[in-house]
Amino acid sequence: MSAHESMEQAEHAEHASGENRKIALLIAVIALFLALSETLGKGAQTEAISKNVESSNLWAFFQAKSIRRTVVQTASDEAKLSLGTIGDAAAKAALQKQIDDWQKTAARYRSEPETGEGQDQLSERAKHAEEERDLAEAKYHHFELASAAFQIGIVLASATIITGIVALAWISGLLALAGIAFTVIGLFAPHALHLAL
């Protein structure tokens, strides 16, 4: 091998080494964004599960209040029917007092703003938890799409080093940009794409 050929090979190796460094840097940057989207995705997934459990618990509490209210209301209605058949004034007054107490209890089961545990308040709280769950799920889906784009980008960038096909690095970069876009959408406008579709 001549000195000229050796010089050309050394220049080619140096050029390839420089390109490989750029690809390695691209992989490192994409991996950084992947870690970010995965962390955000896990947080959103945990939030969605938590809010789903919260809304389920609130709806169960709502149902329990509904059952209690129905039982108390039924007892009150039944007592009202028997009120006319009672001749004793003291017994009639005692039954009327019990009917009034049941009516107050039924009304309290319907709405109890001071504790937030009336049916009206429970349904509002449950609906709010469902909205937060849906928001967290929308974020999670965008972060998952971003993670997939980053992972595919890393694979294609790695393949660039092995194959020397530069187009794979460009595609990898485009996938990284798509992943960044999905991450940003997940953070700031998770329902934007769902509204557009």
Distances (CA, A) of 25 to 31, 132, 154, 156: 10, 38, 11, 14
Q: Do residues 138 and 194 lie in contact, with contact meaning Cβ atoms separated by under 8 Å?
A: yes
Checking if the pLDDT of 197 tops 50, the result is no
Give me the count of residues in the chain. 197
What is the rounded CA–CA span in Å between residue 86 and residue 96? Answer: 11
Tokens of 90: 């003291």
* pLDDT for the residue 189: 94
Tally of CA atoms within 13 A in the half-sphere of 73 that contains its CB: 11
CA angle (96, 100, 103) in 5-degree steps: 135
* pLDDT for the residue 83: 85
Classify the phi-psi angles of 116: left when phi > 0, otherwise alpha if psi is within -120 to 50, otherwise beta. left
Average pLDDT estimate for 140-159: 97
More confident residue, 82 or 188: 188
pLDDT tens per residue, range 5-24: 665 665 655 555 678 899 99
* pLDDT for the residue 4: 58
Checking if the pLDDT of 47 tops 60, the result is yes
Other CB atoms within 10 A of residue 101 CB:
12
Checking if the pLDDT of 187 tops 60, the result is yes
The domain spans of the chain are: 26-196
What is the rounded CA–CA span in Å between residue 47 and residue 138? Answer: 11
Continuous H helices in the chain: 3-83, 89-110, 119-163, 166-188, 192-196
pTM for the full predicted model: 0.81
